[in-house]
């Protein structure tokens, strides 16, 4: 499995892209999942781009950004153009977005139709640039359940629309993670791997908490110590051809990510030789 580190893990700390890249290479990561906010802030620094990162032995596995899909087309089009331009600068074919800002049970039929139509147009733009748009399994979006995600894929009906399978959020939806993965596997281009101590702490992953520097991180835990049995998940599926990111939002990102990467590699080797 090709494994990336997310620059969003360093959103509250002062770390240069050069430092993150050197650390990622040293610790055996294959790539970087670049947060759109960081990509925009790096625009004035012409020397850092996809070609530069490749000289470090890394690639940008995915650009993770957001689109205002509830807005009028001109605003969406402008945001999508900027997003796809950044993806081109960093030589990545995958752009992650959220499918709106309302869950599948709350959105009105007209709002859903609007979002579907706008997303289809964005996919057309992406195809022209040989890019893919990945919607993430995530609460408070149209991809908050497996069934709604499959419905959205059918409604948009465009080959550039793919899925970022967030294992924790699939579990959060109440789905059986293994069954959810199998149902969505034909559309999955990337995985997010993270864990939580229990359901009571799932709120720590809400954006308003994650992006608040002094908010609680209680309940966030390393990959192999939470409610999701990653030993089982990794054993049940052949992920050798997949790209995944270790997504960590808690304290001490370098230390936690280093240990999780070591444990992931050790487990994969153990599985391979058994």
Give the catalytic positions in this structure: 138
Q: List all residues 6 or more positions away from 127 whose beta carbon is below 8 Å from its beta carbon.
A: 158, 159, 160
The tokens for 102 are: 């309302």
Contact 259, 266 (CB under 8 A): no
Contact 50, 85 (CB under 8 A): no
The tokens for 197 are: 């101590």
């Amino acid at each position: 499995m090709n494994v990336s580190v997310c620059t969003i893990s360093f959103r509250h700390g002062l770390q240069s892209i050069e430092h993150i890249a050197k650390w990622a290479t040293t610790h055996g990561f294959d790539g970087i999942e670049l947060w759109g906010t960081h990509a925009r802030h790096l625009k004035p620094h012409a020397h850092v781009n996809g070609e530069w990162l490749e000289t470090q032995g890394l690639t940008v596995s995915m650009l993770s950004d957001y689109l205002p899909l509830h807005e009028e087309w001109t605003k969406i089009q402008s945001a999508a153009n900027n997003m796809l331009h950044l993806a081109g600068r960093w030589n990545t074919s995958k752009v992650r977005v959220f499918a709106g800002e309302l869950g599948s049970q709350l959105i009105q039929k007209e709002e859903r139709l609007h979002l579907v139509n706008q997303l289809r147009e964005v996919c057309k733009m992406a195809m022209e640039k040989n890019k893919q748009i990945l919607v993430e399994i995530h609460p408070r979006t149209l991809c908050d359940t497996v069934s709604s995600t499959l419905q959205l894929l059918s409604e948009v009906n465009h080959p550039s629309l793919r899925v970022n399978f967030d294992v924790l959020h699939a579990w959060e939806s109440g789905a059986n993670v293994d069954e959810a993965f199998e149902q969505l596997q034909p559309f999955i281009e990337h995985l997010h791997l993270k864990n939580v101590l229990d359901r009571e702490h799932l709120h720590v992953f809400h954006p308003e908490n994650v992006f608040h520097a002094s908010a609680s991180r209680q309940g966030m835990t390393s990959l192999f110590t939470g409610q999701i049995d990653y030993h089982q998940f990794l054993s049940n599926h052949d992920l050798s051809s997949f790209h995944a990111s270790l997504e960590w939002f808690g304290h001490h990102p370098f230390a936690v990510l280093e240990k999780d990467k070591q444990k992931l590699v050790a487990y994969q080797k153990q599985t391979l030789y058994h």
